[in-house]
Amino acid sequence: MRRQYIWIVGAVGLVGSALGARGAPPAMAGAISGKVTYTGTPPKMKPIDMAKEPSCAKQHATPVTTENVVTGPGNALGYVVVYISAGDAGSSAPSEAVRYDQKGCQYIPHVAVMQVSQPLEIYNDDQTSHNIHPLAKANPEWNKSQPIGAPPIHTTWEKPEFIPVKCNVHPWMHGWFLVLTTSHYAVTGEDGGFSVKGLPPGKYTLTAWQEQFGTQTQDVTISGTETKTVDFVFKARAY
């Protein structure tokens, strides 16, 4: 019996290391997938005038717009972060870094999700200086310059927090660092779809966050290897 137990632990460990730093997946894992949509009229995203920064303006054939409400066909909502806000046993942060780019005077991705203590690397790919100013409150608020050709900034966040990020030189640049305690999260694409995988059987609270429309939660119970379907509908406000 004992030998068998060791064998199982060893096998799980092997699979876990094969998958990298994400940790060993549970022997039995379910998932939650679904779609995030809106009702009502979402605000129109404003075109960004980058005339003051020609090196960025010329990177965009068509003017880019603000990204605080990104929509897709079928009333889909993009850049919604769906994550387990309660019921997760927690896991240590993966060692692989989350990459955050400043490119064409935009933040890519607009919303970057990471775990507490997970490495974050911030790159300046532009031919202009940026300053990265994460407006943290629970974590330290810092503000660093990153000139042309400067190496990436390596950092971590030690407390869970949703941190707005801005560049003071280019006031249209606005993004988010979402620092979570859970490794179970997903960010919706323009189709509004998401899938949160690797959930051991249990009771969970699933939260969906949209930067302008706030948060919604639903309780979900996972048993076995099932994939539960959970949809979120946000009420869009024009302003």
State in angstroms the smallest separation of the CB of 210 from other proteins: 20
Among the listed residues 171, 203, 229, 231, the single contact to other proteins using CB under 8 A? 171
Residue 21 found at the interface with other proteins (CB under 8 A)? no
**Tokens 């605000």 sit on residue:** 43
Residue 170 found at the interface with other proteins (CB under 8 A)? yes
Q: Rounded distance, CA 184 to CA 83, Å? A: 6
Site for other proteins in 132-151 (CB under 8 A): 132-133, 135, 137, 140-148, 150
DSSP 228: E
- Tell which residue, 66, 55, 61, 78, has the closest CA to residue 130: 55
Residues 6+ apart with CB under 8 A from 142: 133, 134, 136
Give the x/- contact pattern for other proteins in 47-86, rule: CB under 8 A: -----x-xx-------------------------------
CB-nearer residue toward other proteins: 65 or 129: 129
CB-nearer residue toward other proteins: 133 or 184: 133
Q: For residue 4, give the 3-state DSSP assignment.
A: helix
CB-nearer residue toward other proteins: 110 or 170: 170
Residue 7 found at the interface with other proteins (CB under 8 A)? no
Among the listed residues 24, 57, 169, 233, the single contact to other proteins using CB under 8 A? 169
The overall longest dimension of the chain from CA atoms, in Å, is 71
Buried-state track 99-125, b at ≥16 Cβ within 10 A, e below 16: ebbbebbbbebbbbbbbbebbbebbbe
DSSP 56: H
CB-nearer residue toward other proteins: 65 or 205: 65
Q: Rounded distance, CA 205 to CA 218, Å? A: 6
State in angstroms the smallest separation of the CB of 125 from other proteins: 16
State in angstroms the smallest separation of the CB of 128 from other proteins: 7
Residues at the site binding other proteins, with contacts judged by CB under 8 A: 52, 54-55, 127-129, 131-133, 135, 137, 140-148, 150, 153, 168-171
